[in-house]
């Protein structure tokens, strides 16, 4: 005789749950890929914001040479006449 499993849902519910799990996995892999790409570019000394430091949200934490000079210009201002 055939035993019934504890899962009493329909096949449609099973496929919906599998689809949700697959979508979540794709999102997680995509986010991890973007994170590692950003870290790799920074490690190589390249900017992923197109070199526009003034509008970049990462400016405060960025240690690239262009960002350091932009921070110096923004914080220091124009003090050449003193």
Reported as a single tens digit per residue, the pLDDT across 60-69 is 777 778 788 8
Residues 6+ apart with CB under 8 A from 59: 53, 67, 70, 71
Backbone angles phi, psi at 69, to 5 degrees: -70, -35
pTM over 0.95: no
Neighbour count for residue 41 (Cβ, 10 Å): 14
| pLDDT attached to residue 41 | 78
Q: Is it the case that residue 31 has pLDDT exceeding 70? A: yes
Cβ atoms 48, 38 nearer than 8 A: yes
Q: Is it the case that residue 17 has pLDDT exceeding 50? A: yes
| pLDDT attached to residue 58 | 76
Cβ atoms 32, 38 nearer than 8 A: no
Domain ranges of the chain: 10-46, 47-77
**Length of the chain measured in residues:** 82
Per the model's pLDDT, the better-predicted residue between 59 and 27 turns out to be: 27
């Amino acid at each position: 005789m055939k035993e019934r499993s504890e899962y009493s849902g329909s096949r449609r519910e099973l496929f919906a749950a599998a689809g949700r799990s697959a979508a979540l996995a794709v999102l997680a892999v995509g986010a991890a890929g973007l994170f590692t790409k950003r870290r790799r570019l920074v490690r190589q000394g390249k900017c992923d914001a197109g070199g526009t430091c003034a509008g970049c949200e990462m400016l405060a934490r960025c240690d690239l040479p262009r960002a350091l000079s932009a921070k110096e210009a923004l914080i220091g201002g124009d003090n050449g006449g003193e």
